[in-house]
Each structure stands twice: as C-alpha cells, then as structure tokens.
Structure 1
Amino acid sequence: MEKSDAMAAIMNQQGRVSPGTAAPAEGRSCSHLSPWVFLVSALAVKTALVTVGLVVLFHRSCGQYKTLPQNAPGWHCVPNVSASKRSSSPTEDSWMCCPEGWRCFQESCYYFSADRMPWDESQQNCSGMGSHLVVINTKAEQDFLNKEITRQNTYRREGINLHIGLRAQEVGQWHWADQTPYNETAAFWRPGEPTNAPDETCVVIHHNTEHLRNWNDVPCKTYSYRICETAAVTI
C-alpha cells in the first residue's frame, strides 16, 4: 500500500490529473456552450413558426375567394400597384395573385384558351374553372386583351376569333355572362357590327389587327377560342 501511495503522489506532482478531477473541467465546457446552443435552437424554432404562419395565411387568403382551377400548378403573384395607391400607409405591401398560366390585369385574372369550342361549351369550361367568359368594361381592358392576344403564340395567324361573355337572348338585347349591364358607350364593335341577324346572338373578338374595335356577332355554335376571367386574390 505504501508503494502505491508513493506512485500516486509522484504522478500528481508531474501534472497528471486523476479521473476524479476531470468532471469539473467538462462541466465548465458544457456551461460555456449551452447559451449558444439555446440561441440557435430558438432561432430555428422561430423561423419555422414564421414560415408556417405565412403559408397558412396565404392559403387562407386564397381559399376565401376561390380554389385553383384544374391543372393549375400554383399561384403567380405580382405587386398590387392600384391597392398601394389607395392605401393610406405607403409602406403597406399588397400582392395580387392569379393561378399559374393566367394573366393579371388590374384586379382580374384572364385565361386564353388553346382550343376552340362553341359559346355554351366555352362558358361551361370557364365556369368549371371558377370563372366566366370575359366581361369587358373599359377601353383599358379592351386594349390589354388586344395586346395579350397579339403576344400569345397560339394566335399568330390572322382572323382569330375568341368568345367573350356577351350574348343576346333576343336579337339586339345584349347581356354579359356575369349579369353586368351592357353599356353601349363601352362597346367595341367592328364597323358595320353588330348585324343583329337572328342566328348571330353570341359575340367574339375578331382579332386581325391591334385596332380596338373588333367585336363581331356570330352564331353561338361557332367554334372559337375563348377568354375566361375571374377576380384576382389580393393578399
């Protein structure tokens, strides 16, 4: 026993640390790192909560107005300039969102078809996507549609017809698909149109130039492209 005690004393004198003295040093190391670990964990949790909150808010905002049309992969959002101008707070952000594949203008979303149908089937197709055939209320909207038709690759050839939401239940008695009153001062008929022929009670945009006056009344069974319209989602 005396020999063992002597060897232990020599090892301690040479700076060797016995196993019993290691715990305090390790404890000091952990106490030094723990605030950083806690801070990183807190930031990670906060980031996750904010992300989830934004996703839920966006989906709730969109869900209040409409669901995505079939085959639409997601949403496309742009700054809502008109809302920013009306806002009393210049720092308030607002976004206008449309389904992917639809075009935004003012506070509406527009879908330009790649296939052709008669007027009734066109309206049903738009309705199935939570929209209706386009209702044109202003010169600015008519100008936007003309420019967009020119931009679309589908409509490169001349004489393209696209159904709009204007129809006459009786000859000359025009009504919009969403029940908006027909306004003669905001109509864009081609020269000599409408003919008001008994068998021509549906209306198309007959696009062969960028001239604004290009509406034409046609038989409702005419196969034409279509433009659907629905309200944009504002978040």
Structure 2
Amino acid sequence: MASEVTYAEVKFKNASPTAVIEAPPETKKHEHHPQKYPPWLPWLISLLLLLTCIALVVVLLVAPFSHSSKQPTALQEKFTAWECNSAVSENKGQGWVCCPKGWKRFQNSCYFLSLDKMPWAESEQNCTGMGSHLVVINSREEQVFLSEQIKQGTGRPNFYIGLRAVIKDQWQWVDKTPYNVTAAFWRTGEPSEGDEKCVAIHKDSEIPNNWNNVRCQQHWRICEAAAVTV
C-alpha cells in the first residue's frame, strides 16, 4: 500500500516584508556666487603695511645698539646721538663702528677734545663721567692723529693725556698700561725737572714729539673710549 504524502502551507507571522531600498535624494548643485569682501578690508591692509614700514624704520635706527647680546657700555648709556661708519670685520663681516656725535674716531677708539679747562684730576673725573678716560697713547699713528686734530683747533695749546707721575719720574697711565720710555713722544728737553707731574700734548711743537710735562693745573683734555662696534 502506497504511503500518502501530505502537503501543508506554512505561513510565518514574523517574516519581514521585502526590503525596499530608497535612493538618496538628488544632490543639488551648489551655485557659485562671487565672494564679497567687507568694505573695511582694504583699509586694514593699508594699516598693516604702514605699521610694517614703521617697524622696519625703528629696527634700522636702533639696530646698532640692539643686536648685540652684550650689556651696553658706559659710553652707550651716556649718549643718545651717534655717528656710525661702515666697517668690515673678519668675524662679523659687514658692520658699523660708532662714536658719540662730536667725537673723533681713529681705528677702534673715539676721542673727545674739550672746549673747557680743568686741573688734571678733575679732567680725569670728567672723562670718567662720560664713560671714558683721559687718552692713553699706544702707537705713533695714534699720536700723530691726535696731534693733527689739536693743530686744527685755535687757542688751545695744551691738552692733557692720561699720563702723570704720582711719584717723581715714575710715569703711569690711567688705565695701568705699562709706561714704555721708548714709545714716548717727549719734546726735546722734556720731561723737565720741577713740580710738573702731569703730561700734555703741546700744540705748537713738531709732530710727533710734542709731550710736555706741566703742573697739574688748568688745561684742556682729550678723553678716549672704545668705539661701539655692531
């Protein structure tokens, strides 16, 4: 006897309906409009350019004394007006050598020839107060330069230098540089005997030998300081 096959239709209540995939909405194309700048923008740009120019000018004016990492010298602290000349240094390349306005420059030093007279001790104090000292002459070239500067003036015959004898015939420089008689520039017959313990350059004597020992009374003076290099 053949077996019967029974077919039954089965329905699942939790079956999910066929998924419907929705396409994303069509993206709208962006419309390009010309960009509008605020009306104050050109003024802002002009102001920034002006401030930049001012900053550059300030940097150029103060550069000689602001680029160095060293502390300012006493001379720099005393003077605000300077005269600078271009110079070439082996280490720094192109640079500047500066002296206070009205001072004379020779090599790496600045010199001030006074217009008034003082005794030797007060002359040294006056130079010190300006961040300098009475001149110390270290070479024939320096001696010739100073002598020529003095001859250009009028009515000022004797200028103190930084040499004197605290003890008779024991000449000393103010900066403790050893006195070398072979590098001295005395006039013929000088130094003379007597109470003349200070030294001055005599204007009307022949160059370079024009040192004259004098009494430490009223005379003009030459102050010296190292030039400021930047």
Q: What range describes the TM-score normalised by the shorter chain of this pair?
A: 0.7 to 0.9
Distance between the aligned counterparts of 2:123 and 2:188, measured in 1?
Answer: 26
Q: 2:169 maps to which residue?
A: 172
Q: 1:202 maps to which residue?
A: 198
Q: How many pairs does the alignment contain?
A: 196
Q: 1:67 to 1:137 in 2, by over 3 A?
A: closer
Post-superposition Cα deviations, 1:97-144, rounded to whole Å, max 9, x if no partner, equal 111111111111100011111111111111111111110010100011
TM-superposed deviation, 1:216: 0.8
Whether the 8 Å CA contact 2:75–2:132 is kept in 1: the answer is: no
Determine if the alignment matches structure 1 residue 77 to structure 2 residue 84.
Answer: yes
Residue aligned with 2:122, SS: helix
TM-superposed deviation, 1:219: 1.5
Distance between the aligned counterparts of 1:118 and 1:202, measured in 2?
Answer: 10
Distance between the aligned counterparts of 1:56 and 1:192, measured in 2?
Answer: 51
Q: 1:226 maps to which residue?
A: 221
Determine if the alignment matches structure 1 residue 136 to structure 2 residue 137.
Answer: yes
Post-superposition Cα deviations, 1:135-175, rounded to whole Å, max 9, x if no partner, equal 001010001101111223xxx24x70111100112111111
Q: Which runs of 5+ in 2 are unaligned?
A: 1-32
Whether the 8 Å CA contact 2:75–2:225 is kept in 1: the answer is: no
Q: 1:6 maps to which residue?
A: none
Residue aligned with 1:193, SS: coil
Q: 1:188 maps to which residue?
A: 185
Q: 1:186 to 1:56 in 2, by over 3 A?
A: same
Post-superposition Cα deviations, 1:186-218, rounded to whole Å, max 9, x if no partner, equal 2100001112x3411110111114521000111
Determine if the alignment matches structure 1 residue 146 to structure 2 residue 147.
Answer: yes
Whether the 8 Å CA contact 2:168–2:197 is kept in 1: the answer is: yes
Point out the structure with the larger helix share. 1
Q: 1:111 maps to which residue?
A: 112
List structure 1 segments (4+ residues) > 6 angstroms apart after TM superposition. none
TM-superposed deviation, 1:52: 3.6
Q: 1:69 to 1:229 in 2, by over 3 A?
A: farther
Post-superposition Cα deviations, 1:50-97, rounded to whole Å, max 9, x if no partner, equal 334444543334962224576x551111123xxx2x5267xx321111
Counterpart AA for 2:229: T
Q: 1:69 to 1:99 in 2, by over 3 A?
A: farther
Whether the 8 Å CA contact 1:112–1:227 is kept in 2: the answer is: yes
Counterpart AA for 1:192: G
Counterpart AA for 1:230: A
Q: Of 72, 91, 107, which residue of structure 2 is paired with 1:64?
A: 72
Q: Of 46, 55, 66, which residue of structure 1 is paired with 2:52?
A: 46
CA RMSD, Structure 1 to Structure 2 (Å):
2.9
Residue aligned with 1:58, SS: helix
Residue aligned with 2:94, SS: coil
Q: Which runs of 5+ in 1 are unaligned?
A: 1-23
Whether the 8 Å CA contact 1:117–1:224 is kept in 2: the answer is: yes
Distance between the aligned counterparts of 1:176 and 1:232, measured in 2?
Answer: 20
Whether the 8 Å CA contact 2:74–2:131 is kept in 1: the answer is: yes
Q: 1:105 to 1:174 in 2, by over 3 A?
A: same
Q: 1:230 to 1:31 in 2, by over 3 A?
A: same
> What percent identity do the matched residue pairs reach?
44
Equivalences for 1:114-129 in 2 at 5 Å?
Answer: 114-129=115-130
